[in-house]
Amino acid sequence: MKFSVSSSELLKHLQIANGAIGSNPVLPILEDFLFTIQDNKLTIAATDLETSITTTVDVMSDANGVVAIPARILLDTLKALPQQPITVSINDENYAIEITSAYGNYKLAGENGQDFPAIPDAENVDAITMQATALAQGVSKTLFATSSDELRPAMTGVYFQVDFNKITFVATDAHKLVKYTFTDVASEVSTSFIVPKKSLNLLKGILANASGEIKVSFNKANAFFAFNDILLVCRLIDARYPDYNAVIPVDNPNVLTMGRTDFQNSLKRIAIYANKTTNQVILNITNSDLTISAQDLDFSNEAKETLSCTYEGDPLTIGFNAKFLVEMLGVLESDEVKIELSTPTRAGILLPTDKVDDEEILMLVMPVMLSN
């Protein structure tokens, strides 16, 4: 079996699929790409048994067949070659592989493609269609708030809640929560599922320069993201997501409005002087001023800044983790942000002041208890 292809085109597709290869696979064959040739189309697959990526590229071939090729050596070879047509020959009996370029020949040992684990098929699935840019937004705006605590598996992924023509993405680690809703979705189903963090990081990379529509299909076990000639399949987290609406405070009489960038930059400066364990900064809010302060008693460090703001409500002093606030303000895109507060012991809600059609975002951050 033999096929010819542009080296740069092949490399581009291999780099996409390579994201699914784990750093220390449980089976040696998982360090390989699976090449399947069918009617002058080469399908490249890679998997770590949790997440799989499949991508298709046009080639000139003389036969159909499958072979598993070691990923690392193949990628390194193509990266080191200038763009040119290459020919890959596979010995059907011992899976020896020879790559021929304008510079010379490179030989490596492949494996039997039949031994490669099967990529899950999209069976008994429900599907929704949405803009790739909207999915990319939903993922990037929530992914940072997921937990790394393996004892609470549900929180280590992003919760997708599909409700006919709208989809809500939720992520929380019990200290912060993000809820992003997008309403321009083509769907006839109402359901929910949890997608793991690793798969979404890969999806975010694939969708970075995406435009057009993406089809998201899902059944009880897996989710399938199909986009152009790329398919990402991931195993869903089998756990019950916490009732996130129950923790969002409803009655927040105190509302602080201020410039997002000024607030974020001030927090970054003040956080340098905060205790490195708690990252605690204290917000002291009156009618027209916000004073941000922090101190680290262990090193006698302290800092204070005052910013002008608009505030409706009673004067309030509340502590937050500066790292969380800076991260959240970095995800919001409006020029001004609104922070809704009730008491120093209840969560604060961050909202953008600019409304965008078809989308809504709400962020919640738990306070750090004040010691005095």
Read off the amino acid at residue 167: I
Residue 145 contacts by C-beta under 8 Å, 6 or more apart in sequence?
A: 171, 172, 173, 176, 177, 178, 363
What whole-number distance in Å separates Cα of residue 309 and Cα of residue 259?
8
Fold of 126-245: DNA Polymerase III; Chain A, domain 2 (3.10.150)
Residues contacting 49, CB < 8 A, separation 6+? 26, 30, 117, 235
Read off the amino acid at residue 15. Q
In whole angstroms, give the CA distance from residue 52 to residue 249: 39
User: What's the confidence (pLDDT) of residue 371?
Assistant: 63
Please give the pLDDT value at position 162.
93
Q: What does the pLDDT read at residue 254? A: 96
The model's pLDDT over 112-166, given as tens digits with 9 standing for 90+, comes to 999 999 999 989 999 999 999 999 999 999 999 999 999 999 999 999 999 988 9
- Please write down the HEC assignment for all residues of the chain: CEEEEEHHHHHHHHHHHHCCCCCCCCCHHHHEEEEEEECCEEEEEEECCCEEEEEEEECEECCCEEEEEEHHHHHHHHHHCCCCEEEEEECCCCCEEEEECCCCEEEEECEEHHHCCCCCCCCCCEEEEEEHHHHHHHHHHHHHHCCCCCCCHHHHEEEEEEECCEEEEEEECCCEEEEEEECCCEECCEEEEEEEHHHHHHHHHHCCCCCCEEEEEECCCEEEEEECCEEEEEECCCCCCCCHHHHCCCCCCEEEEEEHHHHHHHHHHHHCCCCCCCCEEEEEECCCEEEEEEEECCCCEEEEEEEECEEECCCEEEEEEHHHHHHHHHHCCCCEEEEEECCCCCCEEEEECCCECCEEEEEEECCCCCCC
Q: What is the pTM of this model?
A: 0.91
| pLDDT value at residue 357 | 84
Q: Which residues face 18 on adjacent strands?
A: none
What is the pLDDT at residue 310?
Answer: 94
Topology classification of domain 248-365: DNA Polymerase III; Chain A, domain 2 (3.10.150)
Q: Which residues of the chain have pLDDT under 70?
A: 371-372
Distance CA(195)–CA(73), nearest Å, equals 31
CB-based contact 143:202 (threshold 8 Å): no
In the chain, domain spans: 2-115, 126-245, 248-365
Name the CATH topology of 2-115: DNA Polymerase III; Chain A, domain 2 (3.10.150)
**CA dihedral defined by 188, 361, 143, 203, rounded to 10 degrees?**
50
Can you tell me which residue has the tokens 């090193």? 299
CA distances to 255, 273, 276, 285 from 321, rounded to whole Å, are 19, 13, 10, 16
pLDDT reported for residue 21: 95
Kindly report the three-state secondary structure assignment for every residue of 315-326: CEEEEEEHHHHH
pLDDT given for residue 181 in this prediction: 95
φ, ψ of residue 183 in degrees (nearest 5): -105, -5
